[in-house]
Amino acid sequence: MRKVLVPTDFSDNAFNALKYACQIFKYEKSEFFILHAYADEVYRQDALEERSELNELKDSVFQQSEEKLKHIKTQLKEYSPNPHHKYRFVSVFATLIDAANDWVGDENMDIVVMGTRGETNDRKLTFGSNTLQVLKYVDCPVLAIPEGYVYHPPKEILFPTNYLVPYKRRELKLLCDMTGSFRSTIHMLYIDPIKKLSLRQEDNQEFLKGCLQKPKLVFETSPEKEKTIAISKYIVHKKIDMLVIVNSRHSYIEDMLYRSTIDELGLHVKIPFLVMQNLTR
């Protein structure tokens, strides 16, 4: 059974990400864990001076969280009455990163799905602070859904790669199953002025072919020097529905996850963005 962790801050963007998760896994038996971590909400209250006040506030926020999760449960019954899906609703006094990593480890989650921004994030930024932290530090593939994104099947997937980072079979299988359900095409984009692959790169390319047998694979090369520009152009020209990047040292994600780079290049990802963490679990 597919295990999907969906953090929520009860914003519209968070619920939109949950709806996308229900659709992208609609053909698979899946268990969704809808998680609200509320430690930051409690500690944000600067007026707290006594431990008793802290405990009272923790209880109050917990009760509010439970009520809001019940509301989400009602909404889900109306939106996605899928017999293949099960739902668990969790309120936890912890930071989002700690809670997410605990649940990923304890339940051996396959993927985290969340919105790109929360309720309080700067609207000018592509990624909110919580999303950036989860993308970089949670030990699990993360699928970020842009604010207001209207679901449609992920038919065209862009997977930029230099064929040098080591790939993990488990995470490639996740991508294979996701895209295979929709008979998707994965565009493997190699961005380098030198088109000739080394023997190591050729072997890694063959490994990808072996692991991604369900979708159609298309291999492309771009001579563009700036990777983020090449990716942005390809998304527009090929009408890409989802961007996939492996989070590894010296991978393309380093050029894309830092706000300054995103803002300078005007790269605002408006499609679902899957980050595979390249970690053994």
126-152 residue pLDDT tens? 456 677 778 777 888 999 998 889 999
The per-residue pLDDT for range 226-274, each reduced to its tens digit, is 888 888 889 999 999 999 988 765 555 555 555 443 343 334 578 998 9
- What are the residues whose beta carbons fall under 8 Å from the beta carbon of 59, sequence distance 6 or more? none
Please give the backbone phi and psi of residue 209, each rounded to the nearest 5 degrees, phi first.
Answer: -60, -40
| Inter-CA distances, 137 with 27, 112, 113, 141, 216, Å | 29, 12, 14, 10, 31
- Helix, strand, coil shares of the chain, percent, nearest 5, are 40, 20, 40
pLDDT of residue 254: 53
Instruction: State whether the Cα torsion 186-190-195-198 is positive or negative.
Output: negative
Cα 124–39–123 angle (5° rounding)? 5
- 120 or 71: whose pLDDT is higher? 71
The per-residue pLDDT for range 18-66, each reduced to its tens digit, is 999 999 999 999 999 999 999 888 777 666 567 777 788 889 999 999 9
pLDDT over 80 at 217, yes or no: yes
CA-based nearest residue to 241, from 80, 31, 20: 20
pLDDT of residue 88: 96
Taking the C-alpha atoms of residue 33 and residue 36, their distance in angstroms, rounded to an integer, is: 10
pLDDT of residue 29: 95
pLDDT of residue 263: 40
- 275 or 249: whose pLDDT is higher? 275
In this structure, the strands spanning 242-246 and 273-276 are parallel
- The residues with which 186 forms a beta bridge, in sequence order, are 157, 217
DSSP symbols for 230-273: HHHHHHHHTT-SEEEEE--TTSTHHHHSSHHHHHHHT----S-E
- 138 or 17: whose pLDDT is higher? 17
Q: Model's pTM, two decimal places?
A: 0.87
The per-residue pLDDT for range 164-215, each reduced to its tens digit, is 887 888 999 999 999 999 999 999 999 988 888 999 999 999 999 999 999 9
Mean pLDDT value of segment 86-92? 96
Taking the C-alpha atoms of residue 223 and residue 125, their distance in angstroms, rounded to an integer, is: 28
